[in-house]
Structure formats: structure tokens, C-alpha cells
């Protein structure tokens, strides 16, 4: 399932009364917009992000939104900006038109809600994939009164009252139906309802506040500081391990650590099957709890067909940098009967050091045989083990 995230940031936030669009204001040292966008760029279920901005920001976007080659490498997934419209649904419609035509689910999020958790995003996407449309919402906690002038007109049963949030997610066809309506509404779920589609409620989060007025900023600061403390890298560092194995076949190049080694056989795989880079990638991703190489660069995705594993490793390095980490050192053991790799180790170390952005002395690569035992020992396969130490930047 392919997922596009749309960040609705086309407004200017006049109610907050700031001199610049509120999404550019910093909360605990980071722009509100940067926090929201980064949450989706780093989410494993999201394949691309489209941000709807005021026209003047499209022409000169902040550095964290620049969709150039460097940004693409940093985020390891497409990031585009489009101009917003006069209304919220106009901004979303512009972003929808820019989304990949292959996307199955579109998830929409207000830039002014910078604290949505990864779990909430995942649950909303899953509900939309199942039901067609879903929104995060919290049930009313207080007794709800309906006003009539200055007096109470009715008391509403609070167990039927939900306060809508974002993210809101839709199957592509459902959102297309919704955006075809010209009605003025405050969210896409309302359009989907009017288009005749049921919308599933996903339990929202009290911390997923929308920053609307100046009174919201102190609350946002408190939430940001608490949230950031929970996600700060361990000061003592983290360790991760990686392992990769590929069959050896004739007619394939043998690529190890970005170096093509003379050989009668090479590793069989969807990418260039570089077991050194794959094992190191798994080690650094695992150290920060981001899964493995298959989660981010699946062999079911044609984008990674014959991809350079050095490039995939570079993308993983930038991903952990987004989380506030850097590589300390790596140690790799290659298990291969033949050919011997000793003459190529220094070239491999040099490439890895450059990609990992560390000194050469912090990269170790060793070659071992399997003494004729199992498929590796019979020369039918190659394997690599890696360990990486990751530390706070």
C-alpha cells in the first residue's frame, strides 16, 4: 500500500496575531511546520509528503522543505511543495493533484498540529485503508451545552460528541469524491460525509493540539519539551547489529562495500546485493529503533531495483541524523569462501567512512571463511555481520 501525506499549511494564522505565518513560528526551538513535516517524513508507513504553502513560501521555502537532490537524500522519500488556495479544501486539492497517482491512501494533517504521534498516524491510515475514510477525534470530557443566545438551549449527551483532529485519511477515490464538492467546510471528513462515505473515528490524543491563538503557545511549549525529552538520544550511545546473506550466482557482479571485486560469481538480489552495506544499514537503523533495510527500501518497490547499496546506506545515515544521531563506529565481518577480500578492504573502508561521515579509523572490515560448512562454506552464498555504535549528535 502506497501512502501520500498532505500537510495543510496554506493559511497565515491571523488569529494568532504573529508577524509571520504561524506555521513558521518556533516551539521549543523548532518551527511548527518543521515538526509536522518531519513526523511524516520519518514515518515508515508514508511514502511521500506534499506540503501546501502560501505562494510566497513556495517561491522561497524554508531549508527543511527544499525539494532538491540534497533534501531527497536527507529524507529518503519524495518531498514536494505546492501553492495553497483561498480555502483549506483548495489547498488540499492542489496538493492532491501533486500526489503520486499510484497512492492508495492519502493522509491529511494540519501543519498547526505538530505533536501527532507515529502511532496515531499509523492507526488512522490503517482505518482508512479498511473503511475508506477515517479521522482522529477525542471524545468530549466535559458536559456539552448547546447555546441559544446567552442561555442554554439543550444539554447534549457527551458520549456522542467527538472533537475532530487530524490526521484524517482517505482511500484515493473517496478523497476525489469529497474534493469534487464545492461546499465550504472546515475539514475533509465533512466533505467525505456529504459525498456519502462513512468516516471511521480513530481515538485521538489530548496532546495533539492545534495551535490557533497566542494562548496555545505556552501549552505547545510544554508539550514540545516533554515530547522532546522522551525522544532525546541516549547520551551514552546505542548499539545495533546487522546481518545479510545472499546466494551467489554466475553473471552477477560481486559488490562489497561499494567496491566491485573480480569474481566468477556475484550476489543475487533486488538491488546490487552488497551484503556489507546492507548489514551496516540494518545495524544503524536497528540502533535507533527504525527497523531494517527491507522496511524502508522493500524489494517489492521498483524504485530500488538494481539500486546502489551505498546510496541506500547514505539515505539511512541521513534518516538517523533527522532523529538526532550520528554513527560512532562500525565493525563488519564478511563471510565468504572465495575470492579473498583482503586486497579490497581499504577501498571498502574508505567508501564506508565517507558515507557514514566518520574517520577511516572508525571503520573495520574483516574477511572470514566458513571452513566449508553450510551454503556459505560450499561457496553458494555470502554473508556479512555488522555492529554499529550510534551516538547523540
pLDDT at 74 (0 to 100): 47
Max mean pLDDT range (226-240, 298-312, 378-392):
378-392
Q: Is 291 left (phi over 0), alpha (psi -120 to 50) or beta?
A: left
| DSSP calls for 93-127 | HHHHHHS-TT-SEEEEEETT-TT--HHHHHHHHHH
- Which single residue is written with the C-alpha cell 491529511? 108
Question: Please, are residues 296 and 288 in contact by the beta-carbon 8 Å criterion?
Answer: no
Q: Is the pLDDT of residue 274 over 90?
A: yes
Predicted local distance difference test score (pLDDT) of residue 8: 95
Residue partners of 193: CB distance under 8 A and separation at least 6: 199
Q: What is the mean pLDDT of residues 103-127?
A: 95
- Which whole number is the average pLDDT over 147-160? 92
pTM of the model: 0.62
C-alpha 241: how far from chain center = 22
The full set of domains in the chain, from first to last, is 3-231 (3.90.550.10), 238-392 (3.30.1330.50)
pLDDT of residue 219: 94
Q: Which helix (H) or strand (E) holds 58?
A: helix 55-59
What digits encode the pLDDT tens for the residues 219-266?
999 998 887 765 554 455 789 999 999 999 999 999 999 999 999 999
Q: What are the φ and ψ backbone dihedral angles of 68, each rounded to 5 degrees?
A: -95, -175
Give the separation between CA 368 and CA 346, rounded to whole angstroms: 16
The pLDDT score that the predictor gives to residue 137 is 97
Mean pLDDT of the chain: 90
Assess whether pLDDT exceeds 80 at residue 64: yes
Q: Report the C-alpha gap between 176 and 174 in whole angstroms.
A: 5
Please, which pLDDT band fits residue 29 given cuts at 50, 70 and 90?
confident
When pLDDT is averaged across residues 332-360 and rounded to a whole number, the result is 94
pLDDT at 236: 56
Residue 307 has pLDDT above 80, yes or no: yes
Phi-psi region of 273 (alpha: psi -120 to 50; beta: other; left: phi over 0): left
Q: What percent of the chain has pLDDT over 70?
A: 93
Q: How far is CA 150 from CA 147, 153, 161, 188, in A?
A: 7, 9, 22, 31
Tracing cell 508507513 back to the chain, one arrives at 45
Residue 73: is its pLDDT beyond 80?
Answer: no
What does the pLDDT read at residue 231? 56
Q: Between the CA of residue 129 and those of 46, 47, 63, 75, 88, what are the distances in Å?
A: 13, 15, 33, 25, 23
Mean pLDDT, rounded, for 51-66: 88
Q: What is the dihedral of CA 168, 169, 173, 178, to 10 degrees?
A: 0
Report how far residue 136's alpha carbon sits from residue 205's, in angstroms, rounded to the nearest whole number: 8
Residue 284: count other Cβ atoms within 10 Å of its Cβ.
Answer: 27
The pLDDT score that the predictor gives to residue 384 is: 96
| Per-residue confidence (pLDDT) for residue 306, from 0 to 100 | 78
Q: What is the structure's pLDDT at 68?
A: 47
> CA nearest 333: which of 388, 289, 374?
388
Q: How far apart are CA 157 and CA 161, in angstroms?
A: 7
What pLDDT does residue 17 have?
64
Q: Which of 66, 26, 42, 14 is nearest to 221 (CA)?
A: 26
Q: Is the predicted pLDDT of residue 71 greater than 70, yes or no?
A: no
As a whole number, mean pLDDT of residues 8-24 equals 77
Distance of alpha carbon 186 from alpha carbon 208, whole angstroms:
17
| Mean pLDDT on 303-327 | 89
The continuous run of DSSP H or E covering 391 comes out as strand 381-392
Amino acid at each position: 500500500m502506497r501512502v501520500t501525506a498532505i500537510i495543510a499549511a496554506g493559511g497565515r494564522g491571523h488569529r494568532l496575531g504573529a508577524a509571520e505565518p504561524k506555521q513558521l513560528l518556533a516551539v521549543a526551538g523548532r518551527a511548527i511546520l518543521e515538526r509536522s513535516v518531519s513526523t511524516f517524513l520519518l514515518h515508515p508507513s508514508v511514502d511521500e509528503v506534499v506540503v501546501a504553502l502560501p505562494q510566497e513560501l513556495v517561491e522561497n521555502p524554508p531549508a527543511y522543505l527544499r525539494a532538491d537532490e540534497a533534501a531527497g537524500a536527507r529524507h529518503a522519500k519524495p518531498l514536494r511543495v505546492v501553492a495553497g488556495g483561498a480555502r483549506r479544501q483548495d489547498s488540499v486539492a492542489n496538493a492532491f493533484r501533486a500526489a503520486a497517482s499510484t497512492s492508495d491512501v492519502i493522509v491529511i494533517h494540519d501543519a498547526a498540529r505538530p505533536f501527532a504521534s507515529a502511532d496515531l498516524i499509523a492507526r488512522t491510515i490503517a482505518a482508512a485503508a479498511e473503511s475508506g475514510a477515517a479521522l482522529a477525534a477525542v471524545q468530549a470530557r466535559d458536559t456539552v451545552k448547546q447555546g441559544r443566545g446567552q442561555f442554554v438551549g439543550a444539554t447534549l449527551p457527551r458520549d456522542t460528541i467527538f472533537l475532530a483532529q487530524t490526521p484524517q485519511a482517505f482511500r484515493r477515490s473517496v478523497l476525489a469524491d469529497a474534493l469534487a464538492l464545492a461546499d465550504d467546510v472546515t475539514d475533509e471528513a465533512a466533505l467525505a460525509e456529504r459525498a456519502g462515505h462513512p468516516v471511521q473515528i480513530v481515538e485521538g490524543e489530548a496532546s495533539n493540539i492545534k495551535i490557533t491563538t497566542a494562548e496555545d503557545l505556552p501549552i505547545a511549549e510544554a508539550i514540545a519539551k516533554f515530547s522532546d525529552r522522551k525522544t532525546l538520544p541516549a547520551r551514552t550511545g546505542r548499539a545495533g547489529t546487522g546481518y545479510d546473506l545472499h546466494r551467489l550466482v554466475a553473471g552477477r557482479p560481486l559488490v562489497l562495500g561499494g567496491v566491485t571485486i573480480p569474481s566468477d560469481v556475484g550476489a543475487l538480489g533486488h538491488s546490487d546485493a552488497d551484503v556489507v552495506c546492507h548489514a551496516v544499514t540494518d545495524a544503524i537503523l536497528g540502533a535507533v529503533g527504525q527497523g531494517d533495510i527491507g522496511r524502508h527500501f522493500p524489494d517489492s518497490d521498483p524504485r530500488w531495483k538494481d539500486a546502489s547499496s551505498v546510496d541506500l546506506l547514505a539515505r539511512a545515515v541521513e534518516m538517523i541524523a533527522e532523529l538526532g544521531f550520528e554513527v560512532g563506529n562500525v565493525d563488519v565481518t564478511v563471510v565468504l569462501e572465495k575470492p579473498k577480500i583482503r586486497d579490497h578492504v581499504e577501498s571498502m573502508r574508505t567508501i564506508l567512512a565517507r558515507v557514514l561521515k566518520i574517520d577511516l579509523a572508525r571503520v573495520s572490515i574483516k574477511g572470514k571463511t566458513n571452513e566449508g560448512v553450510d551454503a556459505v562454506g560450499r561457496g553458494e552464498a555470502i554473508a556479512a555481520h555488522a555492529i554499529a555504535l550510534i551516538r547523540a549528535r
